[in-house]
């Protein structure tokens, strides 16, 4: 099987008036079709920078990023990007917010609209379609943002700490929801998080980055031996703690 995404020897520094900040140093990893990858690393090590490179918002100074063998470019319609803030527009209803991406791309086809209906029902938002974002809980807002992203049917989903604004309880539920949604759709995804438990509970492999400039310190495949894997089930699996300790130690090696 060929990888969907290849990150090869990528380096990037930020150049500002106060000097040069090396952010990424010789980063390499692959993402296989249908795979869920988590990226963990210390705060400020370059995780968001890496996602910005993958979606083509930034260009690597060295190395290459290929999707199906072709270099990624800015505005790649095959990649969906979900951020920590949901960026829902308060002056639009939830339904209008969910349609936004399709509207911008002039893709409001009957087929896409019925896909949105399906998701609104499946994720418990159909009764809130006329509500404003501020009337919804944090978890519901994040689900609305996810539907907006998935409506574009991206081949790869990038998630940059999408749950970190939520309280712990909500966070568990929403990550469980999103984990289920993505695994049902066999959607390949890259989740950036600073939460080790979240990474283990959701990912097929965890890429551990070092402190800035980030290098790939280690890649840990996760196998919890579960048939029906959900984030909540993963957290209760016997192997969970072993992975947690392994990744914890790895992250603190250079602290």
**Can you give the C-alpha Rg of the chain in angstroms?**
18
Q: Which does 252 bind (CB under 5 to 8 A by kind): Mg ion, ligand ADP, none?
A: none
Minimum CB separation from ligand ADP for residue 22, in Å?
Answer: 9
Considering the complex, state which of residue 46 and residue 80 has its C-beta at the smaller distance from ligand ADP. Answer: 46
Chain residues binding ligand ADP by CB under 6 A are: 14, 16, 21, 23, 41, 43-49, 212
Q: How far is CA 87 from CA 81, 82, 144, 219, in A?
A: 12, 9, 10, 32
User: Residue 95: which H helix or E strand, with range?
Assistant: helix 94-104
Q: Contact 84/162 with Cβ under 8 angstroms? A: yes
Q: Which does 197 bind (CB under 5 to 8 A by kind): ligand ADP, Mg ion, none?
A: none
Considering the complex, state which of residue 156 and residue 192 has its C-beta at the smaller distance from ligand ADP. Answer: 192
Q: How far is CA 31 from CA 126, 221, 251, in A?
A: 34, 12, 22
Minimum CB separation from ligand ADP for residue 99, in Å?
Answer: 30
Q: Which does 71 bind (CB under 5 to 8 A by kind): ligand ADP, Mg ion, none?
A: none
Q: Which does 148 bind (CB under 5 to 8 A by kind): ligand ADP, Mg ion, none?
A: none
Considering the complex, state which of residue 53 and residue 172 has its C-beta at the smaller distance from ligand ADP. Answer: 53
Minimum CB separation from ligand ADP for residue 12, in Å?
Answer: 9
Helices and strands counted in the chain (H then E): 8, 10
Minimum CB separation from ligand ADP for residue 15, in Å?
Answer: 8
Minimum CB separation from Mg ion for residue 172, in Å?
Answer: 21
Q: Which does 67 bind (CB under 5 to 8 A by kind): ligand ADP, Mg ion, none?
A: none
Q: Which residues pair with 81 in a beta bridge?
A: 158
Chain residues binding Mg ion by CB under 5 A are: 48
Q: Contact 198/175 with Cβ under 8 angstroms? A: yes
Considering the complex, state which of residue 23 and residue 60 has its C-beta at the smaller distance from ligand ADP. Answer: 23
Minimum CB separation from ligand ADP for residue 114, in Å?
Answer: 37
Minimum CB separation from ligand ADP for residue 17, in Å?
Answer: 10
Q: Which does 169 bind (CB under 5 to 8 A by kind): Mg ion, ligand ADP, none?
A: none
Residue matched to tokens 């283990």: 200
How far apart are alpha carbons 38 and 215 in whole angstroms? 15
Q: Which residues pair with 12 in a beta bridge?
A: 24
In 3D space, the residue among 188, 206, 203 whose CA is nearest the CA of residue 248 turns out to be 206
Considering the complex, state which of residue 17 and residue 228 has its C-beta at the smaller distance from ligand ADP. Answer: 17
Q: Which does 43 bind (CB under 5 to 8 A by kind): Mg ion, ligand ADP, none?
A: ligand ADP
Contacts of 22 (CB under 8 A, 6+ apart): 11, 12, 13, 212, 213
For the four alpha carbons of 51, 56, 58 and 59, in that order, the dihedral sign comes to positive
């Amino acid at each position: 099987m060929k990888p969907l995404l290849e990150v090869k020897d990528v380096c990037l520094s930020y150049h500002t008036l106060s000097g040069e900040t090396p952010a990424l140093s010789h980063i390499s990893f692959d993402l296989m079709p249908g795979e869920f990858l988590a990226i963990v690393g210390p705060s400020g090590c370059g995780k968001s920078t890496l996602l910005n490179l993958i979606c083509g918002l930034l260009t690597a100074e060295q190395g290459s990023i290929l999707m199906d063998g072709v270099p990624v470019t800015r505005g790649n319609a095959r990649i969906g990007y979900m951020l920590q803030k949901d960026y829902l527009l308060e002056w639009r209803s939830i339904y209008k917010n969910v349609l936004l991406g399709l509207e911008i791309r002039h893709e409001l086809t009957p087929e896409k609209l019925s896909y949105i209906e399906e998701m609104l029902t499946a994720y418990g938002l159909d009764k809130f379609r006329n509500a404003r974002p501020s009337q919804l809980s944090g978890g519901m807002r994040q689900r609305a943002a996810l539907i907006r992203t998935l409506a574009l049917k991206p081949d790869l989903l990038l998630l940059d700490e999408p749950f970190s604004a939520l309280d712990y309880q909500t966070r568990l539920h929403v990550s469980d929801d999103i984990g289920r949604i993505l695994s049902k759709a066999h959607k390949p995804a890259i989740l950036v998080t600073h939460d080790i438990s979240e990474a283990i509970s959701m990912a097929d492999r965890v890429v551990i980055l070092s402190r800035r400039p980030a290098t790939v310190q280690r890649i840990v495949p996760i196998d919890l031996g579960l048939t029906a894997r959900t984030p909540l089930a993963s957290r209760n699996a016997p192997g969970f703690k072993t992975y947690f300790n392994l990744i914890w130690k790895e992250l603190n090696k250079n602290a």
